[in-house]
Each structure stands twice: as C-alpha cells, then as structure tokens.
A and B are shown apart, each in its own frame.
Chain A
Amino acid sequence: MFYDLNLPVSATPGSAQAAQEQLETRKRVELLNHLGYQAVAYNHEVTGKIGNNHINPITKLNLPGINLKQYSRLTLVVDDVSQNYGLNTGNPTISSYDIIAVQPTNEKLFQAACGTFEVDIISLDMSARLPFYLKHSTVGLAIERGIYFELCYSAAIRDASARRNLISNAQSLIRVTRGKNIILSSQAMRAMELRGPYDIVNFGTLLGLNQATAKDCLSSHCRAVAMHAETRRNTTRAVISVAPVSSLTETETWKLGNKRKIQVSKDTAQKKKSKESSSS
C-alpha cells in the first residue's frame, strides 16, 4: 500500500480561489488513485505560531467506492526559538489535524524538533541549500523517538537547480540517517507533478537508497507515521485507546469475545419474549 503524505492545500473555504483549488485537488487525487496510491494526506502549511481561533480548512473528499485513506496534515514552519508553539496533544487546534509536521529553519529549532517536539514528521526544504549541517547525534534523537524525515520530490521535477539541491541534500540526509526513518512524498501543487510509486522508488535508488528501503519510504515508513500520529492523538500514554462498540466493523466483532455475544443474544431473546407476551 503506497502513501503520499504531502498534498498541499491552501485556500480557505469560501474564498474566490476555493472552487478552482477544489477542482485541482480532485484532479490530483484522481491521478494519485490512478497511479496506485491508496492513502493521501492533505497538507496545510502555517508559518509561525498557530492562533487559538485557527480552524482546520481541510475537507476530505467524499469518494464512494474508492479505496483511498485520507488524512489531514498540518505543517508548522517554525523560525523563532523563544516562541512557545504549543505543539502538544492538549492543544485542540493542533489535535484537529491527523498528522503534525514541523519545518525548522535554523539549527536550534532543528535540535528542538528532533529532541522534544511532539510531532510525526520533520520536513526540511530540500529544494534550496540547507542552512545548517545535519548531524548524526541530532538526527539520532528523532530516529529514537520514531519521528520521520520527509523528502519531497515535486520541486525536483519542476526545475533543474532544485533537482541538484534535492539530490545533494538527500545524500547528506541519507548519510546521517543511514537510510532509516525517511519518507518520500510529493508536495505537488499540480496533478502533472505527481509520479507513480515505482518511479519514485527508482528515483530513491538514484539518490542512494537501496531498492527495498526506497520502497519502504513510500509504504511501511508512511504507515509508521500514520500509526505514530494515531497513538499520539487517540491514546492515553500510547497504551490504551477507547472506542465505542458501534464503531467496530462486521469483521472485527470477534474482539468482543464470546461472553459479549452470549449477552447480546440473551438480550434479544428476552426482548422477543417480552414482545410476544405483550402481544398475547
């Protein structure tokens, strides 16, 4: 199963460009589905601190009969060390998104993001020269905490100088992470900037990943990000989550165990009896 965890959306609903953007989004999602992706995350990017009255602008498409998981994702571009960005699960504006990413712009914040921020993805602008060196000691902290680094390929498809920067930055990222904890995503503004999953796997091998790892960067690593986000949001200390019985699907009813089933059947039997007695 292939994921594309970065499909940017920007316009707020109700604005003049909203209809145009909606059409562009549908085009991109249609093509993603055609290319064989089965999950997509719509990405909303915010620069600086997020306000308390911020509303999640992402609307998931209603796609009957199509096997496509949809996530909403927030990317916070952080640039001020002294600012408190409120990146914790208690913050309701933050937790209205499924996946949280940060894009640090200096080394101090990169360290903070790797070491302390409660996020799922660290995204770096790979299409320009990185303003700092990536160090194994810093990156190792993030890997230990199960945070993933993101490489976006669509800038490289758009122009040649971005391609050079991406290749060079990707090399250094792959060197310091030793190929671990990397995800590949598109960040495609237009449908024609998307590429098929296996084409991206091949591009990953050109960057210096081996073929199996490159495939994991689009599939199992992305799944790990989604699961990391899930445990961050909906669990108590990443151990227990509570869901109503009604949310179980037909194939999951075994989770209720025998006792519950017997209980249910007894209940219905009693109801039937009482109905019969009342009708007679």
Chain B
Amino acid sequence: MVRFKNRYLLFEVVYANTPLRWASIPASNTLELSSTADQNPFGDTGRNNCQLPQISNKDLMVALKDSIAGNFGDYGAGLTQRPLTLKYFSPHTNIGILRISREELHIVWGALTFITQLKGNPCIFRVLHTSGTIRHCQSRTIAYDRDRIMALRNQAQLLKDDQAFTQLGLALKDSLDEVNALEL
C-alpha cells in the first residue's frame, strides 16, 4: 500500500494597502523623516495603513472553494474536497499553510491565482513555498512572519505609534509559538 502523499503550500495574501518591505511614509511626514534610511524608494503608494481587513479561516476557505468551483467546476471541487485543509493562517502577517493532495496541487494553486477579493477587499494570493512535509513550510513560515512583523514594527516606529509597536512585538512571539505548535 502506497502512502497518501500531500503537498503543503505556503501562501501570502497581499492587499492593496499591505505594507511591503519598506515603510511608506504619508506625504505630510516626509520632511520630518527625510533623513531616515527606510524611506520607500517608490514614494507614498498608499501602503501606510496598518488596518488590514480581518479575515477568518472560514472566510478564506469559502473564497478558495468558490474559486475552485467557479474555475474547475464540480469535478475539480470533488477531486480536491477531502484532502484540502487550512493548517494555519495568521491574520497579522496574512500568510497561511494549506494541505492538498499531491495530484491536485495545480488545480488548487490555479484557483488561488484567480481569487481577486476576500470579503470585498481586493487582494492577491501569492504562493511562497511548496513542500512535501509540513516541517519545511514551518521554517519558511517563521522566517516570513518575522520579516513581515519587523516591517510593520518599523512602520509603527516611523509613525510614532507606540501602542502598535508593543502589540506587534507580542504578535511576533505569538506567531512563533503558534507555528511551532503545528503538528508535524
């Protein structure tokens, strides 16, 4: 008997206002902060809003299943139904891990590509990593989580938002614990 083989897919949700690697600084603050090295080389592109939409695991799975049914029909939905589970999703950093069967990887990945919005918020799904075991996904998740929370903290610091700064510090610790607690 051959073992049932899975793929684990680490994905990221990028919204129109997700802060990227650089903190974007609102136009009014540019003069004051012009000496800082973290300035966004692209200028103010509206990515300075820390308030991202709150998406629950259920919202995400509903969007994904709708997309599978819309693009691949009942046949695709049936093929992917059983092994498809969301193992982890962090609302702070908007990354998550999906488990799918190895044969249907392309269908689920394609469906992710065609999702354009979550609860009315325009977004992009971007796959960061795929692997055959969850362990590798875990280590990548930790690295990405850390990067993203650091970017957010950087931004909070620039905007002089002390409360958000300390909150994000706690979020970093939480997400580490949560990822490590994922069963292997």
Binding site for B on A (CB under 8 A): 23, 26-27, 29-31, 33-35, 61, 63-66, 156-157, 160, 163, 191-192, 194-196, 198-200, 202-203, 205-206
Distance in angstroms between the alpha carbons of A61 and B126 in the assembled complex: 25
Question: Does the CB pair B124–A195 fall under 8 Å?
Answer: yes
Is the CB–CB distance between A23 and B45 below 8 Å? yes
Option from A33, A35, A66, A206 in Cβ contact (under 8 Å) with B126? A35
Contact indicator A65/B109 (Cβ below 8 Å): no
CB atoms of A63 and B126 under 8 A apart: no
Contact A196 B126 (CB under 8 A): yes
- The minimal Cβ–Cβ distance linking B102 to chain A, given in whole angstroms, is 14
Q: How far is the CA of A61 from the CA of B41 in the complex (A)?
A: 10
B116 interface hit (Cβ, 8 Å)? yes
**B123 contacts across to A, CB distance below 8 A:** 192
Nearest chain-A residue to B112 (Cβ)? Answer: A199
0/1 interface trace, chain B 104-123, chain A, CB 8 Å (1 if under): 00100110111010000011
Q: Which of B14-22, B57-65, B158-166 contacts A (4 or more CB under 8 A)?
A: B14-22
Q: List 23 A-B contacts (CB under 8 A).
A: A26-B45, A27-B42, A27-B45, A30-B42, A30-B47, A31-B20, A34-B20, A35-B126, A63-B42, A157-B114, A157-B116, A163-B71, A191-B16, A192-B116, A192-B122, A192-B124, A195-B124, A196-B126, A199-B109, A200-B113, A202-B113, A205-B106, A206-B110
Shortest Cβ distance from B122 into A: residue: A192
Contacts of A156 in B (CB 8 A): 114
A192-B16, A199-B126 known; A65 and B41 CB under 8 Å?
Answer: yes
Residue from A34, A63, A198, A200 whose CB has the most chain B CB atoms within 10 Å = A34
Cβ–Cβ contact A199 & B125, under 8 A: yes
Q: How far is the CA of A191 from the CA of B20 in the complex (A)?
A: 13
Tell me the bound Cα distance from A56 to B88 in angstroms: 49
Q: B73 at the A/B interface (Cβ < 8 Å)? A: no
A155 to chain B, nearest CB (A): 12
Tell me the nearest residue of chain A to B125, going by C-beta: A199
Partner of B113, one of A26, A27, A61, A195: A195
Is B70 positioned at the interface, with any CB of A under 8 Å from its CB?
A: yes
Tell me whether chain A's interface is mostly helix, strand or loop, or mixed.
helix
Q: Are A34 and B113 in contact (CB under 8 A)?
A: no
Segment 22-47 of B: residues with Cβ below 8 Å from A: 40-43, 45-47
Residue numbers in A under 8 Å from B46 (CB-CB): 23, 27
**How far, in angstroms, from A215 to B53 measured CA to CA in the complex?**
33
Structural contact, A203 and B113, CB atoms closer than 8 A: yes
CA distance A63 to B40 in the complex (A): 10
With A26-B43, A34-B20 known as contacts, the answer to whether A202 contacts B126 (CB < 8 A) is no
Give every chain A residue within 8 A of B69 (Cβ-Cβ): none
Other-chain contact of A202, B47, B109, B122 (Cβ < 8 Å): B109
Report the minimal beta-carbon distance from B183 to chain A, rounded to whole angstroms.
Answer: 27
Q: Is the CB of A206 within 8 A of B106?
A: yes
Closest B residue to A65 by beta carbon equals B41
CB <8 Å contact, B127 and A198 = yes
| Min distance, Cβ A66 to any Cβ of chain B, angstroms | 6
Please pick, from B20, B106, B112, the residue contacting A30 in the complex, using a CB distance under 8 A. B20
* Max chain B C-beta neighbours (<10 A), residue from A63, A163, A195: A195
Q: List A contacts of B42 (CB < 8 A).
A: 26-27, 29-30, 33, 61, 63
CA distance A196 to B47 in the complex (A): 19
Docked pose: A199 CA to B70 CA in angstroms? 18
Inter-chain CA distance A27–B109, complex, in Å, is 25
Query: When the two chains form their complex, are residues A194 and B45 in contact, meaning their CB atoms are under 8 A apart?
Result: no
- Determine if B41 and A66 form an interchain contact, defined as CB atoms under 8 angstroms apart: yes
Chain A residues near B125: list those with CB within 8 A.
199
Which of B41, B47, B112, B125 has the most chain A CB atoms closer than 10 A to its own CB?
A: B41
Q: How far is the CB of A37 from chain B (nearest CB, A)?
A: 12
| Distance A31 CA – B122 CA, assembled complex (angstroms) | 14
